[in-house]
């Protein structure tokens, strides 16, 4: 099980980043590689070597399951990126058959890593709640109406949210199953939209069951599919969260590893999360492109502070990025130099 592996890495004070995009963009034919399973697998392995980790962390591309779902409605990948249902799909069409090109490459990359390397093959999917938010032009207002007690029968927007939730879960489960079959031993479920922007804590306090219904229960069903195959869950949410959300992710979803964004103070979150859940993160890597806002000295200082404070808590922790460390045109060298500080600063 990957949980023990993550716990061992944490005990060894391992550090890692979600940084395949940075390495991919060093390649001249980056766009072609995104559609080539073996090529992408090689880049994942190259990325693991570059960042000195035994984890084969895939390219973070949270558009894949949406493209797969919308292919069932006859849309191509480019169209799918931009498409939103105005009032929810009139008819539920579930994805089946062949995956779109980019997603097929992601799945084949897992298989390539599992076959050709000693790395831990990892998969990645968008979470069902976050996928639902990508299907609707405005998911927040109907969701807020649902949370205020408006029923699907009384509001077309609420009905659309509920229908899109079901479709999203089906698309995520299909992707998870394919990644398990390809050899993934842990899968990162990314739920960045499960946050206080989409879900008002004020409303959730009045209807505590709503968070379970829209976020936790779908993710538990996804986890069940992984559990059945002996595959561990890594849960990632870099959104703005309140304490009750972090606690629910740790205690209820209970992933092997929980990855949080830099809006959270990780050493304070350690008390909210069970001790067998490794915490991952969470330096503000999104700002690494900017020397004005995130100079190297600040990266070094924050790295030292995070490592020391987490050591004080005694909570298993892998120091790393807050999310995908994206390539930014013209800033690659700056970003990579700061990643190197994150990975090496104050190491014995």
Partner 1 sequence: MADLQKLYDAILDGDAKTSAAVIHEALAEGADPVSLISGYMVPAMDEVGRRYEAEEYFVPELLLAARAMKAALEPLRPLLAASGAQPAGRVVIGTVKGDLHDIGKNLVASMLEGGGFEVMDLGADVSPEKFIDAVRASGANIVCLSALLTVTMPSMKKTIEALDAAGVRQQVKVFVGGAPVTEQYAREIGADGYSETASGAVALARRIGN
Contact call for residue 3 and partner 1 (CB under 8 A): no
User: Closest approach of Cβ 277 to partner 1, in Å?
Assistant: 26
Nearer to partner 1, 93 or 140 (CB): 140
User: Closest approach of Cβ 196 to partner 1, in Å?
Assistant: 5
Nearer to partner 1, 80 or 306 (CB): 80
Residues 30-49 that bind partner 1 (CB under 8 A): none
Name which of 64, 29, 79, 284 is nearest 178 in CA terms: 64
Among 32, 76, 96, 138, binds partner 1 (CB under 8 A): 138
Contact call for residue 286 and partner 1 (CB under 8 A): yes
Residues 182-241 that bind partner 1 (CB under 8 A): 196-203
User: Strand, coil or helix: what is 284?
Assistant: coil
Which span sits near partner 1 by CB under 8 A: 40-48, 224-232, 251-259, 327-335?
327-335
Does the N-terminal peptide bond of residue 282 adopt cis geometry, omega within 30 degrees of 0? yes
Query: Total residues at the site for partner 1 (CB under 8 A)?
Result: 30
Q: Please, which residues have CB within 8 angstroms of residue 225's CB and are 6 or more apart in sequence? A: 173, 176, 177, 180
Contact call for residue 330 and partner 1 (CB under 8 A): yes
Token pair in block for residue 37 = 């399973």
Contact call for residue 293 and partner 1 (CB under 8 A): yes
Q: What is the distance between the alpha carbons of residues 72 and 97, in angstroms, rounded to a whole number?
A: 9
For residues 102 and 77, the answer to whether their CB atoms sit within 8 Å is yes
In eight-state DSSP terms, residue 147 is H
Nearer to partner 1, 117 or 203 (CB): 203
Residues 39-54: b if buried by 16+ CB within 10 A, e if exposed? bbbbbbbebbebbebe
Max CA pair span of the chain: 62
Nearer to partner 1, 38 or 152 (CB): 152
Nearer to partner 1, 80 or 222 (CB): 80
Nearer to partner 1, 173 or 194 (CB): 194
For residues 264 and 245, the answer to whether their CB atoms sit within 8 Å is no
Among 225, 328, 332, 334, binds partner 1 (CB under 8 A): 328
Contact call for residue 140 and partner 1 (CB under 8 A): yes
Contact call for residue 327 and partner 1 (CB under 8 A): yes
Q: What is the distance between the alpha carbons of residues 180 and 209, in angstroms, rounded to a whole number?
A: 31
How far does CA 324 lie from the centroid of its chain?
8
Instruction: By CB under 8 A, name the binding residues for partner 1.
Output: 81-82, 138, 140-141, 143-145, 147-148, 196-203, 286-287, 289-290, 292-293, 326-331
């Amino acid at each position: 099980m990957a949980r023990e592996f993550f716990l061992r890495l944490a005990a060894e004070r391992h550090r890692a980043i979600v940084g395949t995009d940075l390495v991919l963009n060093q390649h001249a034919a980056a766009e072609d590689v995104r559609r080539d399973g073996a090529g992408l697998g090689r880049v994942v392995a190259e990325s693991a070597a570059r960042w000195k980790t035994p984890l084969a962390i895939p390219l973070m591309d949270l558009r894949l399951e949406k493209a797969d779902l919308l292919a069932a409605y006859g849309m191509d990948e480019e169209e799918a990126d931009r498409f939103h249902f105005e009032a929810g799909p009139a008819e539920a069409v579930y994805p089946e058959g062949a995956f779109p090109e980019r997603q097929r490459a992601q799945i084949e990359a897992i298989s390539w890593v599992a076959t050709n390397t000693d790395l831990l093959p990892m998969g990645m999917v968008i979470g069902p709640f976050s996928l639902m938010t990508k299907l609707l032009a405005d998911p927040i207002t109907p969701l807020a109406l649902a949370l205020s007690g408006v029923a699907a029968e009384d509001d077309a927007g609420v009905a659309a949210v509920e229908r899109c939730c079901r479709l999203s879960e089906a698309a995520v489960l299909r992707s998870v199953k394919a990644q398990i079959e390809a050899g993934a031993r842990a899968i990162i479920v990314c739920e960045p939209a499960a946050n206080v922007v989409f879900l008002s804590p004020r409303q959730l306090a009045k209807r505590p069951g709503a968070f379970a219904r829209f976020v936790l229960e779908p993710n538990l069903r996804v986890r069940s599919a992984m559990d059945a195959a002996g595959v561990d869950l890594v849960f990632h949410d870099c959104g703005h969260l309140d304490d009750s959300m972090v606690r629910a992710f740790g205690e209820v979803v209970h992933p092997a590893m929980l990855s949080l964004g830099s809006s959270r103070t990780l050493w304070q979150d350690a008390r909210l999360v069970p001790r067998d859940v490794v915490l991952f993160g969470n330096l503000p890597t999104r700002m690494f492109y900017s020397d004005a806002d995130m100079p190297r000295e600040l990266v070094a200082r924050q790295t030292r502070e995070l490592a020391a404070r987490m050591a004080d808590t005694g909570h298993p922790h892998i120091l790393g990025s807050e999310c995908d460390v994206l390539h930014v045109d013209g800033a690659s060298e700056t970003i990579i130099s700061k990643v190197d500080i994150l990975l090496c600063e104050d190491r014995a």
